[in-house]
Chain A
Amino acid sequence: MHRRSVHLFALAAALAATPPALGQEVVRIAYIDPLSGPFANVGDAGLKHFQFMADELNRRNAVPGVRFEIVGFDNKTSPQETLNVLKQVVDRGIRYVTQGNGSSVALALSDAVQKHNERNPGKEILYMNYAAVDPDLTNSKCHFFHFRFDANSDMKMEALTTELAKDQSIKKVYLINQNYSFGQAVSRAAKADLKRKRPDIEIVGDDLHPLGQVKDFAPYVAKIKASGADTVITGNWGADMALLVKAAREAGLNVNFYTYYAGFAGVPTAVGEAGVDRMKQITEWHTNVPSKELERVNAEFKKKYNLDWWFLRVHTQMNMLAEAMKRAKSTDPVKVAHQLSGMRYMTEFGEVEMRAADHQMIQPLYISTFTRSAARGGPKDVRFDVENSGFAFRTDVRIEPYVSAQPTSCQMKRPPK
């Protein structure tokens, strides 16, 4: 008995002594996204992106004396659930939060973070939004502790419709989107942009379907077919996108798809040959934008998790966070936020800027078309396929940051430095 307690004591002492001896501080980042339900695959892939980046930064010792740790929380794509999760995050003393899937969730989370920060000075939480693109988040609902690393929906639609307008064969456009703030924003922007750029184009349909509930898109596809549309614009993501193109392929629907999220979460697999030359997406990056660093990241990520790298912005976001901590010489969210606000950061694809006025990232975007990979007889520069499908995306046009940047109505209150 005595002997055993001595052992335990020694062990406890060793455990307690290890972290301070190295002088390391652990910065935990709460990752709040769906890890169950219809969008579990999307949330899971996001979590792996962040874990990979945390490992990278730790290995590189990017912020001396700081070790990053990602803590995954499942919010089931539900705003209510997200607020419960945020309480846990606060209780566990986590000061950094990142989320991306669902602008409905992002609006609730951003609001809760803002209120928490107002009521708990000294315990502020910094919210890094890596994918929720409702324009309101950086306009009427903006605040100092919310940073969006993705281009917002209006910026993407502006670019996408400029490209679409060039194709004179397009006469009839059908809009199909998810029925929540983001899907409605896509539909609104598409109609406004097309009216301005190509008034001759007729909008032959404007559908909003329940988010993540539709398992069979065949009736919607029959409706699109009946409308005589030659082009579909959709902001659908995850299962809603994969099932839509699957139903379109099965019904032989022969239209162009202008999309936000065609390269991810089972969509390339579901569309296959039917999407070649017809399906376009707007993203900040895809696997065939030449890049040494991302080529390495993609290869290592694939080896580790058997997934393709999709979110360049997670790479940029984590690097910028590390940079901000280095510049602030602190991990305090208020000091770090002041560094992030207005930060310019050089990536392999050009300089990006976290615009100080509204904390909207201004970055280059790419419009790309679905095509066969080089190995499958496609163009030579399509070197990296996605989902091992033999298909990938090829850049049509690069959109410079100043082109997609839009004015903001954000009136931000800044805490003292």
Chain B
Amino acid sequence: MEFLVIQTLNGLSYGLLLFLLSAGLTLIFSMMGVLNFAHASFYMVGAYFGYQITRWIGFWPGVVLAPLLVGIIGMLVERYGLRAVHKHGHVAELLFTFGLAYLIEEAVHLIWGRAAVDYSVPASLDGALFTLFGSSFPLYRAFMAATAIAMLGAIYLVLTRTRTGLVIQAALSHPQMVEALGHNVPRVFMLTFGGGSALAGLAGAVGGPAFVTDPGMAAAIGPIVFVIVVVGGLGSLAGAFIASVLIGLLQTFSVALNWSLAGLLDIAAPADTFLGEVLNLTLAQAAPMLPYLIMVLMLIVRPRGLMGTRET
């Protein structure tokens, strides 16, 4: 029971962080029709900005300022980069974001070096939130989850309850019509791109201390975020949310389960043969592979994802 509760909480807090990341990516996708390969790089930049601002002023200003700065960078990238290559089609845009990801990684190498930086949990958030049957749940993880839920609420309100939100929604599906009505659609795109990047930046600034802030963090999390967006359905926020929590829980629980094919079939497989090794492979050892397996299955069975609307 203790194990179940703690693992669920661990999985939820990780899943919610993944949602912060994938929300921006899926918004940008529905807007431009192109997957932003540099999205996870904005996550990394957010973590490094958070680290740097924490060293200069403090953790709280960092958590607020880092996403804003990343958002501004995102807007500049859209305005002066993506918009320029847009006329050459989706492939050009895709390649642009791909190159941008490398550029950002090298920039991080140059500025902060190749090793991990010491971006750690602030004293005010260090400690246990509560202790359950002798296992404590870290306060910081709860803070991470709360931030993600607050952002989820904020995005929902902005998109459904404000005029800007309505214009964004309209511009996503019918850009020509919105433009004809006198709205500045390119500006809406720029703002959405900036907003999505800022969300990734926030995920970085919050997630950096919980995990590791190093130049490899973008490459480590990038593929998982793509899995979430594909499984959730390209362009669907609700789908991204469900998929994030699902993947978060899956990764947490699969690590902990020693199920193997041999155990399932209740046979004793010889350990030193190839077949034996496959049969004895535990779910815990296969854990890193599972999200991708799910993505492949999803693409075969239901290519538009859980909540997606179009067949891509």
Interface residue from B136, B214, B220, B256 paired with A252 (Cβ < 8 Å): B136
Hey, what's the 0/1 contact readout for A244-266 against B, CB within 8 Å counting as 1? 00000011111000000000001
Q: How many residues of A contact B (CB 8 A)?
A: 30
Distance of A208 Cα from B287 Cα, bound (Å): 11
Q: Given A223-B255, A250-B138, do A216 and B211 touch, yes or no (CB 8 Å)?
A: yes
**Interface presence of A210 (CB below 8 A):** yes
Interface presence of B146 (CB below 8 A): no
Whether A41 contacts B284 by the Cβ 8 Å rule is no
Residues in B with CB closer than 8 Å to A210 are 288
Given contact pairs A251-B136, A252-B131, A252-B135, A225 touches B3 in the complex (Cβ within 8 A): yes
Binary flags per residue of B42-64, CB closer than 8 Å to A gives 1, else 0: 00000000000000000000000
Q: Which of A209, A226, A243 is the one whose CB lies under 8 Å from B212?
A: A243
Secondary structure dominating the interface of B: helix
* Contact assessment for A226 and B214 in the assembled complex, using a CB-CB cutoff below 8 Å: no
Interface assignment of A86: CB less than 8 Å from any CB of chain B: no
Complex Cα spacing A216 to B285, Å: 15
Residue on B nearest A38 in the bound complex, by CB:
B216
Within the complex, the shortest CB–CB distance from B114 to chain A, in Å, comes to 4
B14-A226 in contact (CB<8A): no
CA distance A209 to B286 in the complex (A): 10
Structural contact, B128 and A252, CB atoms closer than 8 A? yes
Alpha-carbon distance between A259 and B205 when the two chains are bound, in angstroms: 32
Q: Please tell me if B10 contacts chain A, counting CB pairs below 8 Å.
A: yes
Q: Which residues of B contact A44 (CB under 8 A)?
A: 115
**Are B255 and A220 in contact, CB atoms less than 8 angstroms apart?**
yes
Q: By the criterion CB–CB under 8 Å, are A215 and B136 in contact?
A: no
A243 to B116, CA, bound (A): 12
Cross-chain contact of A218 among B10, B115, B116 (Cβ < 8 A): B10
CB distance from A190 to the nearest CB of B (A): 17
Known contacts A179-B285, A213-B220, A220-B255; is-contact A41 B2 (Cβ 8 Å): no
B215 within 8 A of A: yes
State in angstroms the CA–CA spacing of A38 and B217 once bound together.
9
A225 to B141, CA, bound (A): 18
Q: Which of A219, A253, A266 contacts B256 (CB 8 A)?
A: A219
- B212 near A35: Cβ-Cβ < 8 Å: no
Interface residues of B in 1-16 (CB under 8 A from A): 2-3, 6-7, 10-11, 14
Separation of A220 and B3 alpha carbons in the complex (Å)? 11
Given A215-B212, A252-B128, A223–B285 Cβ distance below 8 Å?
A: no
B206 CB to closest chain A CB (Å) equals 14
- Is residue A37 contacting chain B, with contact meaning CB distance below 8 A? yes
Whole-angstrom distance between the Cβ of B36 and the nearest chain A Cβ: 22
Is A36 located at the chain interface by the 8 A CB criterion? yes
The residue in chain A whose Cβ has the minimal distance to the Cβ of B121 is A250
Binary contact readout A209-244 vs B (1 if CB under 8 angstroms, 0 otherwise)? 110010110111011011000000000000100010
Contact for B288 among A213, A216, A251, CB less than 8 A: A213
Nearest-CB distance from B231 to chain A (Å)?
A: 20
**A243, B120: Cα distance in complex, Å:** 12
Complexed CA–CA distance, A41 and B215 (Å): 12
A62 within 8 A of B: no
With a CB–CB cut-off of 8 A, which chain B residues contact A218? 10, 141, 252
Which residues from chain B contact A41 at a C-beta distance below 8 Å? 115-116
A323 interface residue, CB < 8 Å from B? no
Residue in B closest to A247 when the chains form the complex, CB atoms = B138
7 A/B residue pairs, CB under 8 Å, sorted by A: A38-B116, A219-B252, A222-B3, A222-B7, A250-B128, A252-B128, A254-B134
